[in-house]
């Protein structure tokens, strides 16, 4: 079984309006984002 590792700069827990805006803003500033 292959193990995959993902590295993110920013992790948003919650997909509401505030979470989406935070994720978009971080991504626009070059961060790797997990939503």
Q: Average pLDDT, stretch 3-16? A: 90
Residues 28, 21: contact at Cβ < 8 Å?
A: no
pLDDT digit string (tens) for 10-25? 999 988 999 999 999 9
Which of the four pLDDT bands, split at 50, 70 and 90, describes residue 9?
very high
| Number of structural domains in the chain | 1
Residues 35, 28: contact at Cβ < 8 Å?
A: no
Q: What is the pLDDT of residue 13?
A: 93
| Percentage of the residues of the chain whose pLDDT score is greater than 70 | 100
Q: What is the pLDDT of residue 15?
A: 84
Look up tokens 């590792």; give the residue: 5
Which residues, in sequence order, are bridge partners of residue 33?
10
Q: Which structural domain range is residue 22 located in?
A: 1-35
Q: Is 28 helix (H, G, I), strand (E, B) or coil?
A: helix
Which of the four pLDDT bands, split at 50, 70 and 90, describes residue 33?
very high
Residues 35, 20: contact at Cβ < 8 Å?
A: yes
């Amino acid at each position: 079984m292959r193990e995959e590792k993902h590295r993110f700069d920013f992790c948003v827990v919650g997909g509401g309006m505030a979470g989406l805006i935070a994720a978009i803003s971080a991504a626009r500033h070059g961060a790797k984002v997990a939503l």
